[in-house]
Amino acid sequence: MQSYKAAGEIYQWLDDANKIHIDNIRSQLKAMWDKLKTVHSKFAPNLRFNLLSDLLSICVKDDESLMAMSACIQGTMQKVKVLHPKVHYTIGKLDEELIIMTMICALPWEEYSAFISSVLLLTDLSKDTILEAF
């Protein structure tokens, strides 16, 4: 009974774009939660890329204290950590993500903006995928 109530509570707060993913399982709390997690985790590599880019571009502002800048860095890093895959995430995987970031960030935006935007929409953001796109 309690799981039905929880499922209903979650369902009522979803927008229509998310409800379509779970309409046929909305009374099954775990299945509903797993489906939403799967749908939204497809974009995690791209979000991690954007957050790592944000992290590496943080600079102290003229009117900002070093403590405030440090808090900003730590907050952004927390967001990056939340998006790490829960299993099989290694230093090797981080190294590959940094290579991918460098490959994309090395391109001049004016000339490659369409390419960069399309690459960032890929669900499989890997070094090999980027090399194929080149």
- Residue pLDDT, tens place only, 70-121: 999 999 998 888 777 777 888 888 888 888 888 888 999 899 989 888 888 7
Closest Cα partner for 97 from 58, 134, 49, 43?
Answer: 49
CA gap 123, 38 in Å, rounded: 12
Location of structure tokens 């009374």: 27
pTM: 0.56
